[in-house]
Structure 1
């Protein structure tokens, strides 16, 4: 390989390497925020993040800007970035948009999804049900495995339509709601077996009844949100000084 060819190849590799670092930074930070490892209002200092993740400042800034566009991070101009705050108003907005967009996504899945889509829904439900049964029998807390299987099940139901943009929007809102669920989980009183609730969802979707499926999705989203609201109010009451 001559010098020109080598230089060209090296130059071509740089954008790909930079993109890889951005994706790495984005994935690590997004996961930490959704899981509640980075708490609402936490300062996201570039120099600290550089040391923690061994990623240079440029990819980190780009990743933080992407997370800002998604609503998981806020930008304070020259003062840097913070994890987005939480509030009852913000949760209500997320719930409203989820109901609107998930209705469209599940209707599209029912209209456009084929046998492979139906099989993916059944398989995702089976994996989720297995984990829920294990957790319920052991009286254990919901864990990382449950969270992933739960997300996989919901996204499987939405994945039959042709609009990738709609599916991505639904996934982003699901993760924003997941952040609230995880932050409120500490106030949950014991494990809950949700298997029947999820089976009702699956049955409605696989019956290809868009009205029933949309209604059960709405009930499911609102019920989960109400649990989060109750937990947030309990936390607020706990923090208030006694008279």
Structure 2
């Protein structure tokens, strides 16, 4: 079981961080060799990934990475704004000092990485840690909401959202805005102003509501 969990997590990261091209066929036989496991284990992992929207499956055609879709990105962004905004508002009410400390720590790490990316011409070695730190910050925002259902839904939407942007976001053309946006979200959340925090989350994500951030 641990092997399957490890393969699932590793393959999930590959699927949302440009490990496969959009629309590409995902071949169980090749993955079996990559991971040194049985074909049945790989197929089970792929079916699990298809259940959370990160792989498409069709009878007789097998598994494929979802295609890039401006409309899908807009829809995912709308849902993410709603879930993250409400989840953060609930965390503000319920989280207390412990949540504030965890959020501040998550932001400190993310801000440090984003400033390093902003200062370098080749951020390739920082991409993986940025993906993880950005996810950690946004998950921490909603971590004290008190709703496992909301957190699970957010995790699923976040992964699909990230997958749609896996090409465009590797350019980091947005990084200076990100630094400011994340700081604004942190400040609003720590101030306890739920409406302002929701607005800052919307402001951070609104560039994806036009369908023009997909990249080439």
Settle same-fold status: TM greater than 0.5: yes
**Structure with the higher helix share, 1 or 2:** 1
- Measured in 2, the distance between the counterparts of 1:189 and 1:198 equals 16
Q: 1:140-219 to 2 correspondence within 5 Å?
A: 140-141=122-123, 143-185=127-169, 189=173, 192=176, 194-219=178-203
Residue segments in structure 1 that go unaligned for 5+ positions in a row? 1-18, 236-243
Residues 204 and 190 of structure 1: is their aligned pair in 2 closer, same or farther, counting only changes over 3 Å?
closer
CA distance in 2, matches of 1:173, 1:29: 17
2:53 to 53, 59, 71: 71
**Correspondence for 1:96 among 59, 75, 78:** 78
**Structure showing greater Rg:** 1
Contact 2:117 2:175 (C-alpha < 8 Å) held by counterparts: yes
4+ runs of 1 displaced by more than 6 Å?
A: none
Superposition pairs for residues 1-243 of structure 1, below 5 Å? 19-141=1-123, 143-185=127-169, 189=173, 192=176, 194-223=178-207, 225=208, 229-232=211-214, 235=216
Deviations 1:108-154 (A, max 9, x none): 11111121111000001111111222222334436222222111111
CA drift at 1:187: 5.7
- Structure 2: state its 5+ residue gaps: none
CA, structure 1 residues 101+61, in 2 after alignment: closer, same or farther (shift >3 Å)? same
Per-residue CA deviation, residues 158-209 of structure 1 (Å, 9 max, x unaligned), is 1111112211221222222222332113666585353221111001111111
More relative contact order in 1 or in 2 (CA 8 Å, sep 6+)? 2
When residues 184 and 226 of structure 1 are mapped into structure 2, their CA distance, relative to the original with a 3 A threshold, is farther
Question: Taking structure 1 as the reference length, what is the TM-score of the superposition?
Answer: 0.80
The whole-number CA distance in structure 1 between the counterparts of 2:182 and 2:172 is: 19
When normalised by structure 2's length, the TM-score is 0.90
SS for the counterpart of 1:81 is: strand
Does the 8 Å CA contact 1:139/1:191 hold for their aligned counterparts?
no
Deviations 1:192-243 (A, max 9, x none): 35322111100111111111111111111112x158x4343x62xxxxxxxx
Distance 1:67 1:100, change over 3 A: same
